[in-house]
Amino acid sequence: MRKRRNKKKTINPIIMPKQTPKDSNIVKRKRRNRIRLFRPFKKKKSTLPKRRGTQENIKYLVIPILSLLVLFIIYGAIRYVLFLKGNISKPDNQEISKVLGLEDIPTFPGSQFLFLNNKDDSVVKDFLSQGNSAYKIPDSKGFIDVEEYYTDVLKGLDWELVQNVPLGSPDKKHGIYWVKENKGLRIYSKHKDIWYESISVSDATSALSHQVAEEIERDMLMASSEKQSLLPDYPWKIEIPKEYIIKYSPSKLKELRAVSFQKLGGSDTVELFPIGQWKSKEMDYFLNDYCKIKEENELQCGVINSIPISFKDTLGLQSTLQIEDETYEAYAIANTHNYIVYILISNTQNNPLLDYIINNIKTIDEKD
């Protein structure tokens, strides 16, 4: 059977007539002139994407801000260094005042009154009223700085330097001695502190040589004797000449004993008596407690006067007591080993053994 052929139809394209171009007024947007703060010179048009141009603009903003911030930090650091330098070079000018207990003596810059915490104590007031005082030297300074300072300052206040005795002088008390009109002044070092002592003009010119002679005589007497020690468990230790009898007796404090030293063939006695817990009350109250114990034995006792002393970096008292009709010389001192206050007392004044003990006694744990 004969197949029928499919004839494809062809589609003729429609040709449209060309239009003649018409003139059109195209309004182009004019580009405004922008004020460029950070681009004073015209740059060539960048072919980079717009995003990079934005980053460059941010960079030009950040760099000046960071520069200003760095300059501000440097300026602040310089100011701070200059401030510290000024404080180091002139740290204590504002702290200079008059020495407590003395009328016209300026304090050493940066020093502090040694008994500041006990300033209102009656004993400290008596100490100051006698023309004495004591100040703590700053840690960064030494007594040489103190000498140089007062050598310059006191001369400007019409004080005359009459003696400058170094430490260890064999026949004079160490210190710098001054005279003004009818007054004498000694400034010396004790336990790394500044001590001021009002003395007579004659004592200033002789540098207290008579006191040194008495001390030498006492030391020779003690050195010529054989020594004996206290019991090993006693909280104090000291070598006592064998011409003294050592006696131990009970006290009102549990497990603590008093000890006395009496010279053979004589009545001179020195007693070391435990009286109370250290820092539980003011030191002068311990002297009153000692008198109360004596009054229990029907003995009249009273404290005549007291002055503060520095004993092994602690506050102590040097006192005069009257028991019945006799005058006693006493010390109130603290033992830093067992935290007990002891009364060291002699039944006579100017007892060489008392002076020897107060200058040589040590706590049991203290190194020789």
Residues 203, 241, single domain; the answer is no
Residues 176, 275, single domain; the answer is no
Q: 119, 128, 259, 261: which is closest to 195 by C-alpha?
A: 128
Residues 127, 195, single domain; the answer is yes
**Which runs of consecutive H residues, i.e. helices, occur in the chain?**
50-89, 122-129, 143-156, 201-206, 209-223, 283-296, 352-360
Residue that is last in its domain, among 185, 215, 245: 215
pLDDT of residue 116: 86
Spans of the chain, pLDDT less than 50? 37-38, 41, 87-94
pLDDT of residue 219: 73
pLDDT of residue 277: 95
- Counting every residue written for the chain, the total comes to 368
166 within some domain: yes
Phi, psi at residue 111, to the nearest 5°? -80, 160
Q: State the total domains in the chain.
A: 2
Give the span between the Cα atoms of 159 and 196, in whole angstroms.
Answer: 15
pLDDT tens digits for range 273-287: 999 999 999 898 999
Give the span between the Cα atoms of 230 and 357, in whole angstroms.
Answer: 12
Q: Which domain holds residue 353?
A: 226-363
Residues 113, 211, single domain; the answer is yes
**DSSP codes of every residue in 81-93:** HHHHHHHHHSSSG
Residues 359, 265, single domain; the answer is yes
pLDDT of residue 164: 94
